[in-house]
Structure 1
Amino acid sequence: MPLSEERADTPGEPPATFAELRERLAGGSVRLPKRLKQVAAFALAHPDEIALGTVARIAEDAGVQPSALIRFGQALGFTGFTDLQAVFRERLRKQVTNYDERLLSLRTGNGDTSRTAVLLDGLCKSATHSIATLHDRIDVEQVDAAAALLARAETIYLVAQRRSFPITSYLSYALGKLGIRNVLIGSAVGTDSETVSFATQRDAALAISFTPYASATVAHARQLSEAGVPLVVITDSPFSPLCSDARIWFEVVEADFQGFRSLSASMALAMTIALGVADRRQSGETGTDPG
């Protein structure tokens, strides 16, 4: 590999917070060689492991040499890995705030304003901002391509866990009402891997996961991809572990209010794709798989 591909860009000031670090990596302002990209993807997918693990253990889990962690920190402007790890540990300390404490923060500092009015206003504004950002940034041609890919499928597999599961759950309902065969992955009896194994290249899948990425979703998406099943992904970062397995992927970042994130933009995109699938099916415009 040429020397130019082995080196990262000259770093500037190191990011002071995890949010700044994540934005710098996801925004493409830092160009990294292959191994450091691998570290970046692991760090964004497993921030708790970076915060709490040893260099040796993190390197093993990320599939790199320990020296790659040091070079990754230096590529971001840190003197080494320890300073980088401090940013991840500060993120973890801030996350200790539980939902009760978040709710308590809503009850203070609002004077005589109705707490319900503050909640409604804040949540509506964050949802509106999320949808407006999606509307302005989404590549409509990519949405068309995703709808076309899924429309060709005999069966659409819907894959999500935790916070993302309400999206695929509703999509399963909507697609069923539209007469489109689908399988919702999320069995309480723990047979999801077996169900996913039934998918073939004649099918397609939609997987959804956001930071911190659900390990089961990542595993099922990889299983589908390795079986040659075309995969569409909705996630929140180009460094998401789902992107490498996706035929088409979308980045959706939801705004938050007092630490709570809605699914407004993600649901809007998912439903747009689903209705696009139905429209193509009804008009007979399923086309052929371009590969």
Structure 2
Amino acid sequence: MVRGKSTSGSGLPENYEGIVNLITAQYPNLSSGFQKIARFVTQNPNVVALESISVIALRCDTHASSLVRFAQEFGYSGFKELQAVFQTRLATAAPGFRERVKALDGELSRHARSGNLGYLRDLVVRDIAALQDLLERVPEDTLTGAARLITGADTIYIAGQLRSEPIALLLRYLLTMLHRRVVLLDPAGGLAQEMAETMTRGDVLVAIAFRHYAQEVVAISERAAASGTPVIAITDSQLSPIAKDAKALFTVPEDEYSFARTLAAPMCLVQCLAVASAAILQRGRDEMPRIPTVTEKDRSRGAAGPRRRRAEGT
């Protein structure tokens, strides 16, 4: 992220990028209450720009006075002045997650709103919104850089626990099918951190963690940084503990911490990383990059067997 400009004489950021950089730099020194506010404002910039202080406080589960003190912590006279910085982003920003949900909700209003089908409808709406947000959020150069790290690594280590585990498993499968050497730092047996000690500068770690961050994944990410192993981080915010040492950072914000947290966006992201890696590995082919399935490989091996036997005269 590019560091923003400062206002003349005040030294305070005058744009969104600048204030997020400032919050990120000061985040480790903030109180737990201010850290909660910091996470909210960086993940919900449209809400901060458009809503009243009382609504923002309610959404953030804090008091309006705390938002004022938070703004003053960074040198602003009050929350209104901080909010004005977030409003500068709206001219070029894509709709936020909630705006997307509201629009999609209207489009799909003909579907059932109650019962189990209603649950499905709500989940689909949220997943579509999350995927649209992902498309707007991920830079091309970050995708390219991450794919180069993956294809250039001797060994790809993957760490993802709790609800991030399915994402880690999918990425391991896809990269294994591309004939990459992959090590899943699985907590089974309690040896994940010991296995991580074998990481070198020639490897890469893909660390996946969302709130509340799995401590073992955080520890593995810190160990990778200490050993000089590049880290690709997939997380919910640049304030995440695995973000600070990332060579390539992908943020997939979560609007709410509820039972229905979607995995659609991070799952799509790791599929894209695999396809981008395949494009590098399969460069020169006429067709689009693709990842073979186990079934296809089994058929290929089965067809190769008779050919070898015929060639050997058996």
TM bin, normalised by shorter chain, reads 0.5 to 0.7
Instruction: Compare 138-147 and 27-36 and name the one that shifted more.
Output: 27-36
SS at match of 2:211: coil
Query: Which residue is equivalent to 2:149?
Result: 149
Q: Which amino acid aligns with 2:26?
A: L
C-alpha spacing 1:138/1:257, structure 2 compared with 1 (3 Å): same
C-alpha spacing 1:136/1:32, structure 2 compared with 1 (3 Å): closer
CA shift, 1:27, in A, is: 7.3
Pairwise mapping of residues 24-173 of structure 1 onto structure 2 (< 5 A)? 29=19, 32=22, 36-40=26-30, 43=32, 74-77=69-72, 114-173=114-173
| 8 Å Cα contact 1:144/1:276 also seen in 2 | yes
| 8 Å Cα contact 2:232/2:249 also seen in 1 | yes
Pairwise mapping of residues 240-259 of structure 1 onto structure 2 (< 5 A)? 240-255=240-255, 259=259
Q: How far apart are the structure 2 equivalents of 1:206 and 1:45? A: 29
Query: Which residue is equivalent to 1:19?
Result: none
C-alpha spacing 1:45/1:243, structure 2 compared with 1 (3 Å): farther
Query: Which residue is equivalent to 1:265?
Result: 265
CA shift, 1:187, in A, is: 3.1
Q: How far apart are the structure 1 equivalents of 2:206 and 2:268? A: 15
Structure 1 unpaired stretches of 5+: 11-25, 48-71, 79-111, 285-291
Q: How far apart are the structure 2 equivalents of 1:114 and 1:34? A: 41
C-alpha spacing 1:45/1:242, structure 2 compared with 1 (3 Å): farther
Identity of aligned residues (%): 30
C-alpha spacing 1:277/1:35, structure 2 compared with 1 (3 Å): closer
- Superposed CA RMSD in Å reads 3.3
C-alpha spacing 1:159/1:46, structure 2 compared with 1 (3 Å): farther
TM-score normalised by the chain length of structure 1: 0.62
CA shift, 1:194, in A, is: 1.3
Larger Rg: 2
Q: How far apart are the structure 1 equivalents of 2:130 and 2:244? A: 25
| 8 Å Cα contact 2:193/2:216 also seen in 1 | no
RCO higher in structure (CA 8 A, sep ≥6): 1
| 8 Å Cα contact 1:147/1:274 also seen in 2 | yes
CA shift, 1:247, in A, is: 0.8
C-alpha spacing 1:183/1:31, structure 2 compared with 1 (3 Å): closer
CA shift, 1:74, in A, is: 3.7
Offset from partner CA, 1:66-98 (integer Å, 9 cap, x none): xxxxxx9844348xxxxxxxxxxxxxxxxxxxx
| 8 Å Cα contact 1:160/1:208 also seen in 2 | yes
TM-score normalised by the chain length of structure 2: 0.58
| 8 Å Cα contact 1:45/1:241 also seen in 2 | no
Offset from partner CA, 1:123-144 (integer Å, 9 cap, x none): 0000000000111221112101
Query: Which residue is equivalent to 1:177?
Result: 177
| 8 Å Cα contact 2:27/2:35 also seen in 1 | no
CA shift, 1:9, in A, is: 5.1
